Structure formats: C-alpha cells, structure tokens
Structure 1
Amino acid sequence: MVPWILLFFIGLAAGTIGSLVGLGGGIIIVPVLLIIDQYTSWLPDLSPQMIVGSSIVVLVAIGLSSTLAYMKKKSVDYKSGALFFLGSGPGAIIGAWFNKFIQVDYFSIYFGVFMVLVSILLMVRNHLRPMKIDGQFLRIFNDPEGNEISYRYSALAAVIVSFLVGIISGLFGIGGGSLMVPAMILLFGFPTTIAVATSMFMIFLSSITGTLAHLALGNVQVFLLLGLIPGAWIGAKCGSFINQKLSDHTVVVILRWMLIIVGIRLIWQGTMG
C-alpha cells in the first residue's frame, strides 16, 4: 500500500509544479524515483532508463490535463506550440535512443549537473532583458482581459532550439519545459503566461513521440504508471489553477532552490556510487 500512496503523491507534486511553471513534471519524478530506488526497497528494482521511460509516459497525462485547463483560459499559442514540436518531436526520439548508453552512476551525475544548471537559468532569467531573436513569424494574441499582445521570432531558430530541448527531454525524461519556457521568454519574447501554457501543449505533443520510442525500447514500467498517472492528472489541474492565483516569480524562487538541493544530492550519489 505504501508504494501506491508514495507514487500518487509524487505524481501529484510533479503534475502541480510541472503545470504551474510549464516544466512538465519529469524534473520532479526522475530524481525522486532515483533517490527512492537507491535507498529503499519500496519499489521494484528500476534502471534509470526505466524511470525515464515511465516518466515520459506520465508527461503525456500531465501535458494533456494541463493543456485542457489552459485551453479554457485561452492561454495556449497553438501555432507556436506546433512549430516547436517540429523540432522537439524528433529530438525526443533521438534523446530516448541516447539514453540506453548511459551508465547508472554517470546518469545521476549528468542529471544532477543538469538540474543545477536549470536552477541557475531560472535564477537569472528574471534579471535579464529578453534577447529577442527577431524573425518573420509574427504572433498576435488576445489575453483573457481583451488586451492585444504581439511578439515576433525566427521560425528556424525556434525549430533548432526546440530540437536541442527535445533531445534533452528524451534523454532525461524531463519534458523539455525547464529549458523551453526560459527560451520562449528570453529568446522569443513570449509573455510568461503564454509561454507556460504553450510549453505544456508542446510537452504533450513531444511526450507522445518520446513514449513511443521508450515503449519500443522496453523502458516502461506499468507499476509506476498506475501509481503516478492519477496523481499527475489531478496535480496538473491544480497547477494550472494556482498559476492564475500566485506570482510566477514566487514559485520559481522556491523551485530553483529545490532543484539545486536535489541536483547536488544526485551528483553526490553518482560520485559515491
């Protein structure tokens, strides 16, 4: 009974945080399961590849649940999300293929370093002016209050950036939003609310391709899915609701320190193994 309750709350936390700031949730699921698998016997023996593959499947549920919620608030830029998917979809497949070559100890180190870098990126993003990559792809968006918002960026740059993010997503099972949201804000001039909602839409699409790749590689554990998905679905709804109530800056401050702590823990775990 304990494993099911544990997995439910991990899924709930991942769905809530992932939907709240557009990170997807895998950045919570993967390190937590790595640590639990290392120090307890509550779960069946899991390889990093199995954890990543299962996390990608859960991201489909988180992405769909949060996208449906953001659709009601009219915060999703579908055309931009589809454009980003042109890069992130193939990238996720390549990342899933690379994943099978990573050893357990090295995996923890790589993922820990990555999480620390993400936390630093989140730390500085609000102190930097948007370095917009201008281009011909113009988007005009009306927010729920009726205000018109416009932003323009390069379609080619968007595909290239999302392709690299897709590789990281498939490799580490994190959904890609941890890099895509800052990229949309800093590089492409997206308003934060639209960036978060569009990121969840892109994560939903790219996670489908990542899921197919990991299924083909046998990297999915049904036991994990049955425990994680119900909590993740509910959490994604909660995250999109809280997104409208709290300051994004406040949430990011809490999240970045959590990422630093977990990242350092994983680096230590990998070096000691």
Structure 2
Amino acid sequence: MNAVQVFDSMHAVAGLLVGVLVGLTGVGGGSLMTPLLVLMFGVAPGTAVGTDLLFAAITKIAGSAVHGKRDTVDWQIVRRLATGSIPAALLTLGALAWFGKVGKNTEHVILVSLAALLALTAVAVLLRKRLFKAAVDHGPMQPAGRIVVWTVVLGACIGTAVSISSVGAGAIGVTALLMLYPRSPMVRLVGSDIAHAVPLALIAGFGHWFLGDVNLVLLGNLLIGSIPGVIVGSYLSSRAPDRVLQPLLACVLAVSSWQLFLKARAEDKADKVEVAAAPASVAAQPH
C-alpha cells in the first residue's frame, strides 16, 4: 500500500482547519477534532479519542517549543499539574483496559463525557476574560500551600478527563489556572498549559494505542494538515480579534456538545430497543 492509497484529503483538510483554530485560540485539538471525527467521519468514539490524543500531542510539540524558546513556560506550574495528571491518566487508562470490553457501554460513557466537557469548554471560552478580571481583582489564594494542592487536584481532573474524552487541557485548564495564578501573565499560563498537555497527551495517547484505539493512517492524514495549520494559526493569532473568535469557537463547541448528546441518546434508545426485542426473538424460535 503506497502513500497515495492511504492519503485522505478530507482528513487532511480537517487537520488543517483544526490546526489553524488551535494556533489562533489556544484551545486544545481534543475540543474540536474528536467531535469532528465522531460526527462527520463516523469514527468510533474510542478510536477518535485515542487517535486525537496523539494528534494533539504532536501538533502541540511545535507550540511548546516556541513557548520554551520565548521563556513563557512556568515549569513549576507544569510540574505541579503533572504530579496530579500523570498518575490520574495512568489509573484511568488502567480502568479503561479493565472495563473496556463491555460492549457499547464504554463508548456511551465516552460520548456523554465528551459532550459535557465540550459544553464546559464553551462556557470557559466565553467567560475567560470575566474570570480573569475577577481573579485579578480577588488576588492570589492564601496560603501559598493551597495553590499547590489545588494545582495538583486540577492536574488530576485534567488527566482523567483527557484520558477519557481527549478534552480538558485547553480552555478549561487555562481558565482554572487563571483563577489559581491571577498575578501570572496570561502568556505564561498558556505556555505552561501547552507544555503540560504534550506529555499528558502522549502518555494517554500511547495508552489508547496499547488498547487498540489508535488509527495510525488516520493520524498521519490529520497531521499532514495540522502541522502547517498550527504554524499559520500561531502567526495569525496576534491579528485575529478575540471578540470574533471566542464567540465563534464557543458556538462551534456548544453545537458539537449538543450533537454528541443527541447521538448518545439515540444510541442508548437503540440499545434498549435491541435488548427488548431480544427475548421476543428467542421465544419465537422453534424448540
């Protein structure tokens, strides 16, 4: 099988668009790519999550490298987040491996979790500036030890959410960091969140690969578009007005969340009908 046979232009275009939006807005690829794969391309939720985790990690490596060179990463925050997120991700992956062979129940949980996190991300995108202003006015949390504890807790929540749905490290993570570190410059919080997302997504992504939930051909097609896309989006980010981008992105996330809820509800109804019909078909068989 040669490269031309495995290349899919639609997947590459999807990767390009998501890459541009990630570069423009700073919101993680999981919020955008996973619902796109599930709703538009019909990819199974488990495969979409696993493939998207590696997609997001590789796409964000370039972003974290740029932030590292610009000294806009607070490595202390990254270490605190990782202290909670890495163990939480490993535990979640272990749970998925243990309970992963339960039919459609696991995919239903992923769909509902993804929809809920997308809705929360949409709210976080819309309210980011207001939350930032409130955090600055309120001042830093006291005593300082509480900041460390809550940062580790935040990391654990992000690690669990990312491992299940691939969503959580982008707008939600940055918004929570704004509340914990109101005196830190926004660019350092964004850089720290991106730097933390790379190892977390790699660990969770390779965990899903081990579980058989990664499509390498799909991943390659997405990266063909996303790598140049995130570079272009990063260059355009300083010129794009937030008053246009943030409501647009929040609207896309909210619609995706609603569609995923509808999909999960429809599949749940279909499963119930199938279960209800099974006894009748068994009773009708000749003995």
TM-score, normalising length from structure 2?
Answer: 0.78
Report the alpha carbon displacement of residue 175 of structure 1 after superposing the two structures with TM: 5.6
Q: Which amino acid aligns with 2:226?
A: A
Partner of 1:7: 11
Question: Residues 104 and 213 from structure 1, CA distance in 2 versus in 1: closer, same or farther, beyond 3 angstroms?
Answer: closer
Q: Which amino acid aligns with 2:35?
A: P
The whole-number CA distance in structure 2 between the counterparts of 1:156 and 1:230 is: 40
Within 5 Å, give how 1:57-136 maps onto structure 2.
Answer: 57-99=54-96, 100=100, 102-128=105-131, 129-130=134-135, 132-136=140-144
Q: How many residues align?
A: 251
Question: Residues 96 and 205 from structure 1, CA distance in 2 versus in 1: closer, same or farther, beyond 3 angstroms?
Answer: same
Report the alpha carbon displacement of residue 90 of structure 1 after superposing the two structures with TM: 2.1
Q: Which of 229, 234, 241 is equivalent to 1:240?
A: 234
Question: Residues 68 and 226 from structure 1, CA distance in 2 versus in 1: closer, same or farther, beyond 3 angstroms?
Answer: same
**Displacement over 6 Å in runs of 4+:** none
The whole-number CA distance in structure 2 between the counterparts of 1:7 and 1:175 is: 23
The whole-number CA distance in structure 2 between the counterparts of 1:174 and 1:184 is: 16
Q: Which of 199, 204, 208 is equivalent to 2:198?
A: 204
Would you say the 8 A contact 1:52–1:173 is kept in 2?
yes
Q: Which of 161, 165, 175 is equivalent to 2:158?
A: 165
- Higher strand residue share: 1
Would you say the 8 A contact 1:15–1:231 is kept in 2?
yes
The whole-number CA distance in structure 2 between the counterparts of 1:191 and 1:248 is: 17
The whole-number CA distance in structure 2 between the counterparts of 1:168 and 1:9 is: 27
Report the alpha carbon displacement of residue 248 of structure 1 after superposing the two structures with TM: 4.1
Residues 54-113 of structure 1: per-residue CA shift (max 9 Å, x gap): 111111211201112233433222332232122222222333344536433453333223
| 1:18 matches 2:22 | yes
Among the aligned pairs, what percent are the same residue? 19
- Quick check: 52-61 or 211-220, which moved more? 211-220
Report the alpha carbon displacement of residue 30 of structure 1 after superposing the two structures with TM: 0.5
The whole-number CA distance in structure 1 between the counterparts of 2:238 and 2:76 is: 23
The whole-number CA distance in structure 1 between the counterparts of 2:30 and 2:111 is: 14
The whole-number CA distance in structure 2 between the counterparts of 1:166 and 1:84 is: 9
Partner of 1:268: 262
Which secondary structure state, in structure 2, belongs to the residue aligned with residue 127 of structure 1?
Answer: helix
The whole-number CA distance in structure 2 between the counterparts of 1:237 and 1:175 is: 22
Aligned Cα root-mean-square deviation (Å): 2.4
Would you say the 8 A contact 2:12–2:221 is kept in 1?
yes
Q: Which has the larger radius of gyration?
A: 2
Report the alpha carbon displacement of residue 27 of structure 1 after superposing the two structures with TM: 1.2
Q: Which amino acid aligns with 1:79?
A: Q
- Quick check: 99-108 or 198-207, which moved more? 99-108
Partner of 1:150: none
Which secondary structure state, in structure 1, belongs to the residue aligned with residue 123 of structure 2?
Answer: helix
Q: Which amino acid aligns with 1:22?
A: G
The whole-number CA distance in structure 1 between the counterparts of 2:244 and 2:187 is: 14
Partner of 1:251: 245
Residues 215-261 of structure 1: per-residue CA shift (max 9 Å, x gap): 22121111111101122222222232223333445432221111111
- Higher helix residue share: 2
TM-score, normalising length from structure 1?
Answer: 0.82
Report the alpha carbon displacement of residue 119 of structure 1 after superposing the two structures with TM: 1.0
Would you say the 8 A contact 1:22–1:197 is kept in 2?
no
